[in-house]
Each structure stands twice: as C-alpha cells, then as structure tokens.
Amino acid sequence: MTEAQIKNWEDPLPSGPCRDDYQPGPDSLPKEGVPQGEVFSFQFSESKIFPGTLNNISVYVPDQYDGTKPACVYVGLDGLGYRAADVFNNLIHQKEIPLIIGIGISPGFVPSDEFENPRFNRSFEFDGVSDAFCRFLIEEVFPEVEKKKTRKGFPILLSKNPNDRSCGGGSTGGVGAFSLAWQRPDQFRRVFSAVGTYVAMRGADEYHVLVRKTEPKPIRIFMQDGHADQCMGDIGDWWMSNLTLKRSLEFAGYDVQWVWGTGAHSGKHGTLLFPDAMRFLWKDYPEPVKAKPKQNFSPFFNQVVLEDEKWHEAGTSVKSPLAIFSAPGNSVYCVDEATRAIWIIQENGVSEKYVSLPDAAGILQGVSGACAADGSIWLGGNFGLFVFVPGTHEWEKKMDGAAVSDLTVLANGNVYFTEAGAGKLWFIPKDGIPEIASDSLRRPVGVAASPDFQWLAVIESETHFASSFKLEKNGKSAFGQRFYWFHVPDSCDGLGSGKCAFDSEGRFYAATKIGVSVLDRNGRTRLILPSPLRGGQAFVTDLCFGGTGRTIFILTDGQIFCRKLKTEGVPNFLPPRQLPKWGAG
C-alpha cells in the first residue's frame, strides 16, 4: 500500500457511507516467477479436549521448505483465508517474512445421528476465553500435522518457539487468535485480527479491561475493522469494541497497529491488508517480540512494578513446598512435604532446613503458617493449631476440632484464622480462648489485617470477593461486607486458595487463580501479575513478602518464585503503622 492509502485507512474515526468494495492488492495474487507452495488437507476427529468434534485442517508449505529445521507457523482460524497461500508465496520470495508453514483450522462440529442437527463448536472453540483451543492446537493438531510429509517427501517440523508462531482470523476467528496469544503467550505472540468479536459472546468483552490491568505480555497485534461493522447488536458493538481494545493495548504499551476502514462485517478489507499485516507482525524477525512495561501508562502499575524485574525461582532446594509465610528479619518460611520440615527461603534461591514439623497425624493436610512478633511459628491445617516457640524446640498443640485454612498473628498477640469447610472466621484473643467471629462466609481462606490493624480481609474462595471486617479495640470484628472484588478466569468458579497480604500503602495482594491480584484500599482490582508458568495459566496458591521486604514470594504449580517490587510488604507481626491518607474516589 502507498503512504497515502495507509494514511486514509488509519483515520481513527472514518465516517461517511459504508464502502466495502476493497479488492486484493498485488501481493495477494499469484505472481509469475514466484515459487508456489503446496496446500493439502485432512480431517481430524480424535480430540480429547473437544471430544467428538470433526475439524477440517489445511496445511500450506512453502516451496523453499526443505525439512532440515523447524519452520515458523501461522494458524488461521476458520481456515487459512485472506488469500494466505498467495501472500506467503510472495512475501517469502521477497524475503519480507521468514519461511512459514500455515495451518488452517475449520471450527469443529459434532455430527448428529438421526436428524441433520450437528452441534457447531465455532463459538465454543474460538469465542471462549480460556486456553482450551491453544491446548487443542499444541497437544493434538500440531502433532498430527507433523506426522505428514510434503509432496517432496520432507518431514514437517513446526517451531516450538513462541516467537516463531503467529495466528489470525476474522470475526470470532479474530478474537480466537487474540485469545491464543493472550491466554498462552508462551505459545503464540503475533496476532492478526480482522473485524474481531471483542463482545459479549463468551467473555471477550472483558479483554479491554484485563489488558489494562494485567502486567504486559509479549504480544504484537495488527487490528482491522470498519465503522459499519455491526453483526449482532444484542451482543455488542463490534466497531466500538475494536476501538476500545485498541485504546487499551496502547495504554498498556503493546506493539499494536490498526487500520480502520468504512466496511461492514466482512473479510474484504482484511484480505487487502493481510500482506501489510504480515510485514508488521514479522518486522525485525528473528528479534523476539517483547513486553514493554516501560510504555505502560497505568499509575498503579508504575507505583508497584519494577519494569526490568521478572519472576525468578527461589528455594530450589525445597522439592515439594506446601505453604510459604513471612518471618521476622525479612525471612520466608516454607513448609516442605518431602522433608516434613519448615525451611528458610532466600530470594537468591538458597534455602536451609529450620525445624521439623510436629509428629502428628495429618500434619501435612491443608497446612498453612504464620509467624508471631516473638518469632514463634503458628501452624494450621486439618489437624488444628500447633505453635513452635524458638528456644524450646518443641511444638505445643494449641487447638483441636477446627480444620484451619489460613491464619495470621498480629503484633498485639491476637490471632485470626479461617475454617473453609465450616464457613467460619475465628478469633483468639491474646492469652484467650478461641471464639467464632463469623459463621456465614463461603469457604473462607486467606486472612490478613491492614498495616494499621483497623481492618481484616478474608477471602471467600468460592466467590470473586473478599470480605472486609472492622477490627475493634478489643480485637473483635464487626461490619463485615464483601468489599474486595476480583477477576476470575472463565474456566474457574472461584478465587482459589486466596492467601493474602498488605503493603505499606494499604494495597491488598491475593494469590488467586488468575495470578497475584493487587487491589486498592477501596476494594478494586487494579493490577494482575500472572504466574510465570504455563503462560500465566498456572494458579498462584500462596504468597508473602520477604527478602528486603520489597520482595514478593509466590507458590505456583508446586514451585516458589519471587520478584522485587517498588512497594514494601507489611506482615502482621510488625507493629501497627498509620497509612497515608486515602479518598473515596
């Protein structure tokens, strides 16, 4: 396209009548003297992820491919489309993109038996906002493609490097391509989206919010839409949803290019733009697509996150960690199943055994821990409560009859713990007897007090809320309400284990199924730090602060990771401190 054409298509708010007479350009048509790749097709019907479905799969292999090393990949949803084979032939020949094997996936369907009434899976597979379709590709389709050979007899080798993988589609296929990269940036990083369905089909209308709140991911995206794009008005506004997502991507610092036109909900404009989209997505290859946190405009993000700091593994000597918790002196303790002991974990990865666990039945079941100001360790679980006092080298049984889910010990000696199965919050006054503070919570788990000891947060794991209680001078709790609101992954029914902590500004950190959720003092999720495992799909099951006090530790998929933050964590065994002034806005 010429610069004048690009300027015309990039008008952020095109107006006037619908014009959808776009025609493919020269790079989308066969050219004389350009080697022609091959395209073959097969049907796949052995899926375990989408059982019973039939998918038609087409594969493009460039003529230059010789089978000696893995090739880059493009996955087209709803088939290759957009004259992709001709575009790839031309751009590969012109050395504008690398060698790419294209895989076109038709949406699956489950045939009916007696009457013509199949179950069409297109919306289920493409509109769904989970990693199911990505797993379908990686675990099932790609291995089937690699069983084939080219017409020249070469084996088909697909790169496993996410930087070598792209995907694209239109409408529901467009949002499906975006989901491949968003849900699994460890698998896909280059996205082409035409007339994308970022509306309320199955939850994609939330993407523009999650893009703003989630730590930036290494994704590059080319977007196309037209101001006359209206498909199903009862579900959403296609045109405005694309504009909204584009603005969110820019706000969060993503490498995004958009071209708006005057067309309706069709593939004509996308077909015209497809060659330029491929040039943009593969520019500077093999330089990797990187996240750009320094370009993020979120004040909250920039108050919490150190731009160049990433998750790194800690406590590698501990092979089966069950729980982590803060300890005096900026240490972190870890309960290890294999050694039946508590270990001291350092942010540099060094760990050492501290004390063996009590010799009691069920001591590892549902275990959690907390430290008191005097260095004593409180251990809770299905077995009740134990306390270990340094110097005595002995564990004392503190309470039977309650299956403790999580607990915290305040500097004033008051103890609060949750009992998920019974829906209870318990309070143990210093040197007092346990009493029930609330018995109407939905599987309460994580519990923590604000740094000034004015408020107690309790996560209810079967909801997307945490309740807030006022702490009175006598330690009793009052005025509970579901105050903190969380995002929950589409495939989950609740938050998960929900261990939690506060920082010195009163921000609330919770281990959830979507990652580390960071909320402001008015109960709103403002930042999500995904797990470093499985592209962020792994659940975060525990967290605490340690190291310098500005280091957050997490437990995810049975591994411990940590990273430095700009903020300082405040464990409850520290003396109460006044928080900065805060408003209602």
Task: Domain 319-564: give its CATH architecture.
Answer: 6 Propeller (2.120)
Closest CA to 72 of 96, 100, 95: 100
The Cα 46–Cα 247 span in angstroms is: 40
The structural domains of the chain, with segments of one domain joined by +, span 3-11+22-295, 319-564
CB 398 within 8 A of CB 417: no
Q: What is the DSSP annotation of 230-293? A: -S-TTT--HHHHHHHHHHHHHHTT-EEEEEEES--SSSHHHHHHHHHHHHHHTTTTTSPP---G
Mean pLDDT of 174-189: 99
Q: Which amino acid is at 148?
A: K
Query: Considering only 120-124, 229-233, 525-529, 576-580, which range has the smallest mean pLDDT?
Result: 229-233
pLDDT value for 7: 39
Q: How confident is the model at residue 79 (pLDDT cuts 50, 70, 90)?
A: very high
* pLDDT of 10 above 50: no
The Cα 25–Cα 48 span in angstroms is: 41
Please provide the distance, in angstroms rounded to a whole number, between the alpha carbons at the two ends of the chain: 47
pLDDT value for 124: 97
CB 9 within 8 A of CB 259: yes
Q: Share the mean pLDDT of the chain.
A: 94
Q: Going edge to edge, which strands form the sheet with 515-519?
A: 500-502, 508-512, 515-519, 525-529
CATH no. of 3-11+22-295: 3.40.50.1820
Q: How confident is the model at residue 3 (pLDDT cuts 50, 70, 90)?
A: very low
The Cα 232–Cα 198 span in angstroms is: 12
Kindly report, residue by residue over 473-520, the tens digit of the pLDDT: 999 999 999 999 999 999 898 999 889 999 999 999 999 999 999 999
CB 479 within 8 A of CB 470: yes
pLDDT value for 11: 42
pLDDT value for 401: 87
* pLDDT of 268 above 70: yes
Structure tokens at 489: 């992954």
Of all residues in the chain, the percent with pLDDT exceeding 70 is 97
Phi, psi dihedrals of residue 517, rounded to the nearest 5°: -95, 130
CB 306 within 8 A of CB 564: yes
pLDDT value for 478: 98
* pLDDT of 539 above 90: yes
pLDDT value for 15: 56
The Cα 74–Cα 192 span in angstroms is: 10
Tell me how crowded residue 397 is: count the other CB atoms within 10 A of its CB. Answer: 12
CB 367 within 8 A of CB 378: no
Q: How confident is the model at residue 16 (pLDDT cuts 50, 70, 90)?
A: low
Kindly report, residue by residue over 404-427, the tens digit of the pLDDT: 999 999 999 999 999 999 999 999
Work out whether strand 100-105 and strand 72-77 pair parallel, antiparallel, or are unpaired.
parallel
Mean pLDDT of 370-382: 96
Mean pLDDT of 520-529: 98
* pLDDT of 12 above 50: no
According to the 3-state scheme, what is the secondary structure of 325-367? Answer: EEEHHHEEEEEECCCCEEEEECCCCCEEEEEECCCCCCCCCCC
Locus of tokens 């050979």: 149
CB 527 within 8 A of CB 298: yes
Kindly report, residue by residue over 305-315, the tens digit of the pLDDT: 998 899 999 98
Phi, psi dihedrals of residue 449, rounded to the nearest 5°: -100, 150
The Cα 271–Cα 100 span in angstroms is: 18
pLDDT value for 295: 83
Q: Which amino acid is at 471?
A: L
Kindly report, residue by residue over 426-472, the tens digit of the pLDDT: 999 998 999 999 999 999 999 999 999 999 999 999 999 999 999 99
Closest CA to 508 of 566, 448, 584, 464: 448
